[in-house]
Amino acid sequence: MRPTDIAISNYRSIRRLVMPIQPLSVFVGENGVGKSNLYKSLSLLRDAATGQITRTIADEGGLNSVCWSGIRKRGEDGRLRLAARFDHVKYAIELGYPAPVEAAFSGEPMIKSESIEATHGKRTVTLMERTNSVVRVRGESGAWCEHREAVLPSETALAGFLDGRECPEVELIRNAMQSWRFYHDFRSDPASPIRKPCLAITTPALSADGSDLAAALATLSLIREDTADLQNAIEDAFPGAELRAWEDNGRCEFDLRLADMPRPFKAHELSDGTLKYICLLAVFMGYRLPPFIALNEPETSLHPSLLGPLARLIAKASRRADVWIVTHSEPLMEALRSESSVPLRRVIKEKGATTIEGLTIAGEFRDEDDDEDDD
């Protein structure tokens, strides 16, 4: 199950957005327009599937910090709302403050409602709905089955309600969203896990912090036994270089031999930019790519000469997975347009709210021809 569109309301600088998910979505904009909020809101949706969404919000300062930061109209509740559609099935979640009668800590983010809907033609059917701690699911006969106290107000039904016999869509959506991967940055200081050997465990997709980098590379070399594409990508970025990965006594390691150097360099010796690029290689060339991959400013610490090879990596990966890139690098944006003909998506602010040029309220992008017709 791959997402087809995302809806966000009242998240930080985002007042309301509905965005289609395409094989490759690239968003560019100046500092301060809210690009990172697009990325973080998607990450929150994944946290709903893992059951961590309320903890994540609390870690970020609570609802006061993450809810819409602009002016509200009189009577607006300001609740945070997120939704993801997978073809004909849609999941939605709404969070707010605890009611005075609820047993909760003061200011604790609470899940007010969740729902799963299926659309068949013009008919939409609710399959699961949750209000506070009550979960109702529609069985095969069409009758509702109610589960009281099924989850705590701080738990998502998507993660905590496990009776898939009554509503298999809960499990399908949960598994789909749990497989999403988000990469914000890779630590490259001397103590960073990406500079260390790691356990020799077959690793189909790189972890968010890159701590299993050596294992991800060794999986390609020793499990798939085919590194032709990986070596071609290394040659594209570092002409004449060779990347090796191996397993020794239960640990995986790798090194890189550069064309102008007499010996290979292990991870702890590589420059920050070179090491981060190798992480990106592992992200986009993994043994099995996640169905949805989101990266926030992947160009950080990279030399400008690596932006072309990075664009080729991203374009090729978008044939195997949906890829979402948030960047402030115009050169990377242009390189991606050259490699994949991806349309320009510019993030801007209008009246204090983050929006995207050409995006309609209904969640569709106007193409250039439509813009010319409007003129």
Query: What mean pLDDT do residues 45-64 have?
Result: 92
Helices (H), 219-342: 228-237, 272-284, 307-317, 330-340
pLDDT in tens, 59-113: 988 888 898 877 777 767 778 999 999 989 999 999 988 776 666 676 788 899 9
Check whether residue 225 and residue 176 sit in a common domain: no
The pLDDT value given to residue 221 = 92
167 shares a domain with 314: no
169/215 same-domain check:
no
Q: Report which of residues 160 and 372 the model is more confident about.
A: 160
Same domain, 161 and 237: no
Alpha helices (runs of H) in 101-156, residue ranges in sequence order? none
Q: How many residues does the chain have?
A: 375
Closest CA to 279 of 198, 227, 179, 208: 208
Rg of the chain taking only CA atoms, in angstroms: 22
Residues 187 and 168 in one domain: no
Shared domain for 120 and 218, answered yes or no, is: no
Strand ranges (E), 21-178: 24-28, 80-86, 89-96, 110-120, 123-131, 134-138, 144-147
Query: Are 319 and 252 part of one and the same domain?
Result: yes
Residue 343, C-beta contacts closer than 8 angstroms, at least 6 positions apart: 337, 365, 367
Please state the rounded mean pLDDT for residues 358-363.
Answer: 88
For residues 58 and 197, state if they share a domain: no
So what's the pLDDT on residue 244?
96
Tell me the pLDDT tens digit for each residue of 119-175: 988 899 999 999 988 899 987 778 888 888 878 888 899 998 766 567 888 889 999
The C-alpha atoms of residue 220 and residue 203 are separated, in whole angstroms, by 9
Considering only 132-146, 173-187, 203-217, 268-282, which range has the smallest mean pLDDT? 132-146
Question: CA 256, 258, 260 angle in degrees (round to 5)?
Answer: 160
Predicted pLDDT of residue 122: 86
| CATH number, domain with residue 196 | 3.40.50.300
Residue 26 above 80 pLDDT? Answer: yes
Residue 239 pLDDT > 70 = yes
Strands 24-28 and 322-327, sheet pairing = parallel
What are the strands of the beta sheet with 24-28, ordered from one edge? 181-183, 292-296, 322-327, 24-28, 345-350, 353-356
pLDDT exceeds 80 at position 335: yes
CB 12 within 8 A of CB 19: no
357 shares a domain with 305? no
Average per-residue pLDDT for the chain: 89
Would you say residue 315 has pLDDT above 70? Answer: yes
- Does residue 373 carry a pLDDT above 60? no
Residue 103: per-residue pLDDT:
61
Residues 6+ positions from 277 with CB-CB distance below 8 Å: 237, 302, 306, 309, 310
96 versus 278: the higher-pLDDT residue is 278
246-250, 258-262, 337-341: which has the highest mean pLDDT? 246-250
Residue 124: half-sphere exposure toward Cβ, Cα within 13 Å:
11
Alpha-carbon separation of residue 136 from 93, 110, 118 (angstroms): 15, 18, 15
Same domain, residue pair 290 and 200:
yes
Q: Helices marked H in the chain — which ranges? A: 35-50, 53-59, 63-66, 157-160, 168-178, 213-218, 228-237, 272-284, 307-317, 330-340, 368-374
Mean pLDDT, range 52-61, rounded to an integer:
92
Same domain, 88 and 127: yes
Q: How many domains does the chain have?
A: 2
3 state DSSP class of 27: strand
Percent of the chain with pLDDT over 90: 65
Residue 210's region, left for phi above 0, alpha for psi from -120 to 50, else beta, is left
Asked if residue 305 and residue 169 are part of one domain, the reply reads no
State pTM to two decimals. Answer: 0.88
At 181, which helix (H) or strand (E)? Answer: strand 181-183
Which domain covers residue 251, as residue numbers?
A: 182-342
